[in-house]
Amino acid sequence: MNKQRAQEITQSADLIQVLYDGKPIYIQHVNENNDTARVYPLDDPEHEFEVNLENLVEKH
């Protein structure tokens, strides 16, 4: 996923499905300096972690 699209998703009022390693996640914050995002699994909001944007997939 590119940086611009990840930022659009974080600012969207709609819930846009994004997958990391095949699992639905929520993007909390996009780090523009190193092309990563702070995310958490939808089924485990307490488990936040950082991922490379290239590993995120928007589900259509």
Residues of the chain short of pLDDT 50, as ranges, are: none
Question: What was the pLDDT predicted at 60?
Answer: 81
**Burial of residue 59, with CB atoms counted within 10 A of its CB: 0-12 exposed, 13-18 middle, 19 or more buried:** exposed
The predicted pLDDT at position 44 comes to 96
* Fold designation for 3-58: SH3 type barrels. (2.30.30)
Give per-residue pLDDT as tens, 19-30: 999 999 999 999
Question: Where in the chain are the domains?
Answer: 3-58
